[in-house]
Amino acid sequence: MRKDARVTASERQADISARHIPVLLDSALDLLGAALTTDSPVLVDGTLGLGGHSEAFLTAFPHLKVLGIDRDTSALELARKRLARFGPRFVGVHTTYDHVDEVASEYANGAVQAILLDIGVSSMQIDERERGFSYSQDAPLDMRMDNTQYLTAADVLNTYPVEELTRILKEYGEERFARRIAEKIVARRTSRPWETSADLVELVKSSIPAALWKGAGNPAKRTFQALRIEVNAELDVLRRTLPAAINSLAIGGRIGVMSYHSLEDRIVKQSFALGTSSRTPPGIPVELAGDEPYLAAITRGAAKASAGEIADNPRAASVRFRVAERTRSTPAQMPQGATR
C-alpha cells in the first residue's frame, strides 16, 4: 500500500511538471537574453520551481550556464530530472534566493549576466493538496515552501496572539476584517487546535458579511496569502534579495522580477527606483561623481501578460514583470536591504 502511494505521488508530480506553463516566457527570453551575449554567460534562476524558465533559456542559449535556486526540495528534485540532459550547464542549489550572492560567488566567480525571480507560490505547491496552499480544497494547514523548516500555518494559528494575527492579516493580506478574523481564530483554538484548511475557510466566511464577497471569489484568499507570507517570510526574503542580486550582476547584466501582488511589486519598484535615481542632492546643477544611477530601467513600468497568455495560463493574469540593467558598481555606502 505504501509503495503504491509513493508511485501515485511521483506520477502526480510528473504530471504537474508536464503541465507547467512558465509565465511570460517570451518576454523573459527577450528582455534577459539581451544580456547573455558573452562567451560563457551565467543566469541565476532564483525561483527554479519546476524548471520551465531554465529549460527555455538553456535551449535558446547553447553556451549558457544556469544556476537554479529553490527552497522546495521536491521541486528541486523534479527540476534536476527535467534538466539532466543539459549536464553541467545546469546546477541546482537548495537555498532561498536571498543567498543569490553566495551562489554566484561559489559557482560564477561572483558575477552573473542575468537573474530571474518569479516570486510567489509555484504551480506544484498549489496543486499538491497536502501542502495546504490552496483554500479550494481541504488539507493540513502547512504552507511551507521548504518542508525542512519548522514553522507551519497551523503553528501560526495556534500560537500567535490576537494582535500579531491581526497585524499579519492586515499587512500581508490587506484584509479589512483582520481583527474580527484574528479574534475568532484565537477563540476557536481554545476548544480545539487548528489543523485543516476547510475549517479556516469557513471561519473567514463567517467573519465577513456575505454581501461583500458573494460572487467575488473566495474571501479566504487574503487570509491564506497572509499566512503563506508569514510562514515563508516572503517579503523579508525579497527585501534582502534585491540588493544582493544587483550586487551579483556583472556590469551590463540584467535582473528581471515577476511579482503577483502589490506588496511584492512595491518592494521591487522601490528597489529599482533607488538604483535608477541620481543620489546628487537637489539643487546641484552637475551630477556628482559616484552619485550616478547604478541601474537603468529596461521595462517602462511593469510588463504584463497578454490576453492570449492569460487565456492559456490564468496564473499570468496578475503578473508584473520589471527588468533593470546594472550600469555601474553599487555605491559602497548603500546598506544591504535598502529600498527607500
Helices (H) and strands (E) in the chain, counts: 15, 7
Is there a binding annotation on residue 101? Answer: no
Rounded Cα–Cα distance for residues 184 and 198 (Å): 15
Q: Is 109 exposed, middle or buried (0-12, 13-18, 19+ CB in 10 A)?
A: exposed
Is there a binding annotation on residue 118? Answer: yes
Strand 249-259 versus strand 320-326 pairing type = antiparallel
Contacts within 8 Å (CB) and 24+ apart, 150-157: 151/231, 152/231, 153/227, 153/228, 153/231, 154/193, 154/194, 154/195, 156/227, 156/230, 156/231, 157/185, 157/189, 157/194, 157/200, 157/227
Is there a binding annotation on residue 70? Answer: yes
Cell numbers representing residue 139 in the block = 488539507
Rounded Cα–Cα distance for residues 237 and 286 (Å): 37
Cell numbers representing residue 128 in the block = 499538491
Measured in degrees and rounded to the nearest 5, phi and psi for residue 227 equal -65, -45
Is there a binding annotation on residue 125? Answer: yes
> Do 35 and 253 form a contact (C-beta atoms < 8 A)?
yes
DSSP states of 73-88: HHHHHHHHHHTGGGGG
Rounded Cα–Cα distance for residues 21 and 41 (Å): 25
Torsion of CA 83, 84, 90, 92, to 10 degrees: 80
> Do 152 and 232 form a contact (C-beta atoms < 8 A)?
no
Annotated binding site: 51-53, 70, 97, 118, 125
Annotated binding site for S-adenosyl-L-methionine: 51-53, 70, 97, 118, 125
